Amino acid sequence: MMMNEKELLPYKVGALMYVPALNKGIGRKICAGAFPELDSLAFCLEDAIKEDGLKDAEKQLVKTLTYIAENKPNELPMLFVRVRNCSQFDRLPSLLGELADLLTGVIFPKFDLSNAAEYCALTGKINSGRTRPLLIMPILESSSIVNLETRKRTLIDIRKLLDGYNDYVLNVRVGAMDFCKAHGLRKSIDQTIYDIGLVRDVLTDIIVTFADSYIVSAPVWEYFEGADGNDDWAKGLENELRLDVTNGFIGKTVIHPSQLPMIRKWLKPSRMDYNDAISILNWKDENLGVAKNATGNRMNELATHCKWAQKIINMSQIYGVRDL
């Protein structure tokens, strides 16, 4: 079953690259098509900017978006602003004016019960006067989500709040590095985030709470191509991407352009998954609900695998199919 543009939009966020809003050259690079495998880009006004540099970052953001508006290419990645707090989000429409129309949405950092209701209320307020909605992507990364005593209630209450604004929620994102920070943890280049048991448990709870109705994006891989030419970073990233897909995450946060080709590769379903998904969604047998796949090495079950199959088809519509 093919989905329409609105239904596919949450899947299109894909590889989301962060850049500090102070970056003076990013507008030219975007318009020149310097990142052909980039799906979306976030101008960061939060952790990437020190407090003293915030006003300059806001001014540079306006300059960057002005340049993009004046030199807009045929194909633009989806553009987002990661705001610092609710106050800045409230000021964003007046700061950007018509330039806000270039944005697909806004990213809310450290989204928890201390700010979620205000962020959601502002989302409704800001969108009330817009013909094209400004979509939102909350990031779950606060200590109340790591803490075992508060995690379940926090996640459930956040879910209830977001459900009231679900027309505006594009993705739910996770900040695993912040989860590590709470306990002074850091993975090595040959480990994945799933090797850190504490973080793995938090990610599992987030998937269980949100992934039935929302696209949940995988956390950042903090290693990238260096001057030494060593490709261990890429091997580690590929291992983590396999586990992202297996665990139900769709898309990934990017911090360096060298990560883009690998992430783009894993956004494509495998040929076997695609063929099985087609078979499941076009089930022929009127009596049996289970059948071997075309290669005879996997069992497909109609009642069990329909939702999985639809996700595979959605991803293939956007990113194509991976033959390996």
- The candidate with the shortest Cα–Cα distance to 103, out of 143, 132, 146, 73, is 132
Quote the CA–CA distance of 266 and 273 in Å, as a whole number.
12
Burial degree of 121 (CB within 10 A; 0-12, 13-18, 19+) = middle
Where residue 172 falls (left for φ over 0; alpha for ψ -120 to 50; beta otherwise) is beta
**Considering the domain boundaries, does residue 148 fall inside one?**
yes
Domain count, the chain: 2
What percent of the chain shows pLDDT beyond 90?
A: 86
User: Do 193 and 295 have their domain in common?
Assistant: no
Q: Which residues, including other chains, have CB under 8 Å from residue 108's CB and lie 6 or more apart?
A: 83, 89, 115, 119, 136, 137, 138, 139
User: Do 129 and 165 have their domain in common?
Assistant: yes
User: Do 261 and 311 have their domain in common?
Assistant: no
Confidence category of residue 70, pLDDT binned at 50, 70, 90: very high
* pLDDT tens by residue, 134-191: 999 999 999 999 999 999 999 999 999 999 999 999 999 999 999 999 889 999 999 9
**Considering the domain boundaries, does residue 192 fall inside one?**
yes
Section 218-229 average pLDDT? 92
**Considering the domain boundaries, does residue 297 fall inside one?**
yes
User: Do 18 and 164 have their domain in common?
Assistant: yes
User: Do 311 and 166 have their domain in common?
Assistant: no
Section 228-234 average pLDDT? 91
Q: Does the pLDDT at position 233 exceed 80?
A: yes
User: Do 230 and 294 have their domain in common?
Assistant: no
User: Do 68 and 205 have their domain in common?
Assistant: yes
Q: Which residues, including other chains, have CB under 8 Å from residue 139's CB and lie 6 or more apart?
A: 107, 108, 109, 110, 111, 173, 174, 175
Quote the CA–CA distance of 65 and 199 in Å, as a whole number.
36
Q: Report the pLDDT value the prediction gives residue 4, as an integer from 0 to 100.
A: 85
Q: Report the pLDDT value the prediction gives residue 125, as an integer from 0 to 100.
A: 96
Quote the CA–CA distance of 274 and 268 in Å, as a whole number.
9
Confidence category of residue 290, pLDDT binned at 50, 70, 90: confident
Q: Which domain holds residue 240?
A: 5-267
User: Do 168 and 307 have their domain in common?
Assistant: no
The residue that leads in pLDDT, 16 or 226, is 16
Section 217-234 average pLDDT? 93
Q: Which long-range contacts (CB under 8 A, 24 or more apart) does 295-298 make?
A: 298/272
User: Do 310 and 249 have their domain in common?
Assistant: no
Quote the CA–CA distance of 148 and 271 in Å, as a whole number.
40
Question: Where does a domain end: 230, 248, 267?
Answer: 267
Q: Does the pLDDT at position 11 exceed 90?
A: yes
Beta bridge partners of 260: none
User: Do 149 and 213 have their domain in common?
Assistant: yes
User: Do 210 and 309 have their domain in common?
Assistant: no
The residue that leads in pLDDT, 1 or 277, is 277
**Considering the domain boundaries, does residue 324 fall inside one?**
no
* Structure tokens, 138: 């909350």
User: Do 48 and 111 have their domain in common?
Assistant: yes
* pLDDT tens by residue, 84-132: 999 999 999 999 999 999 999 999 999 999 999 999 999 999 999 898 9
**Considering the domain boundaries, does residue 282 fall inside one?**
yes
**Considering the domain boundaries, does residue 314 fall inside one?**
yes
**Considering the domain boundaries, does residue 86 fall inside one?**
yes
Question: Where does a domain end: 267, 283, 299?
Answer: 267
Instruction: Give the CATH number, domain containing residue 188.
Output: 3.20.20.60
Q: Report the pLDDT value the prediction gives residue 270, as an integer from 0 to 100.
A: 96
Pairing of strands 290-292, 252-254: unpaired
